[in-house]
Structure 1
Amino acid sequence: MSNFLYLFRGGDAAYERMSQKERQEHMELWGAWMENLQQQGNLVDGQPLGAEGKVVRDRGTVVTDGPFVEGSEVVGGYLIVSAADFHEATEISKGCPIFDYDGAFVEIREIQDMDNH
């Protein structure tokens, strides 16, 4: 088994337009999806990310507020998922609730073992 990072991009604008009830229902979908992943032994960790951040460049000589990217490209959260391979990690991601509210995409990256590099 390998660990894969899911980066959730987009969907923030649609989420902001939701009523409080719709937001609650949507978060319940996320909770159910993540609970299912945990029960299947696939969920390692994951959290939503705040909207504000900092961008550090040039070894820290330049620090700006950020991230400044197109709304559909903003990373809103992450999960670390355990899967046999990229195929399984991709199949697991297809059930992600981000697609229910105009999320742009889930980026999947395998987490590399530093000891093997």
Structure 2
Amino acid sequence: MSNFLYLFRGGEKAFQKLSQEEKQAHMEEWGKWMGGLKEKGHLLDGLPLAENGKVVHNRGELVTNGPYAEGAEFVGGYLIISAGSLDEATEISKGCPIFDYDGSFVEVRQIMDLGEYV
């Protein structure tokens, strides 16, 4: 088994337009999806990310507010999952609730073992 990172992009504008009840229902869908991943032994970690942050350039010579990506590029959260292959991790991501409200995409990336580079 390998570990994979899901980066969730987009959907924030559509989510903000929902009523409080719709937001709650959507978050319950996330809870169900993530609970199912946990039950199957796939979910290792994951949380939403704050909208604000800092971007560090040139070893700290320049620090700017950010990130300020376009709506479709905005990274709203992440999960770390365990799967047998990139194909399996990709298949699992297709059930993600981000697609319910105009989420652009889930970026699926394998987390490499540093031992592979040393």
TM range, normalised to the smaller chain? over 0.9
- Can you give the 5+ residue segments of structure 2 that lack an aligned partner in the other structure? none
Cα RMSD (Å): 0.5
Runs of 4+, deviation exceeding 4 Å: none
Could you report, residue by residue, the CA deviation over 1:33-75 in whole angstroms, capped at 9, with x for unpaired residues?
0000000000000000000010000110100000121111010
Output the TM-score relative to the length of structure 1.
0.99
Unaligned 5+ runs, structure 1: none
Q: Check if 1:86 corresponds to 2:76.
A: no
Aligned length: 117
Which structure 2 residues correspond to residues 13-52 of structure 1 after superposition, within 5 A?
13-52=13-52
Seq. identity, %? 62
Corresponding letter in the other structure for 1:71 = G
Give the whole-Å Cα distance in 2 for the aligned partners of 1:19 and 1:106.
24
Q: TM-score, normalised by structure 2?
A: 0.98
Instruction: Report the Cα distance in structure 1 between the residues aligned to 2:37 and 2:69, rounded to whole angstroms.
Output: 30
CA distance in 2, matches of 1:91, 1:76: 20
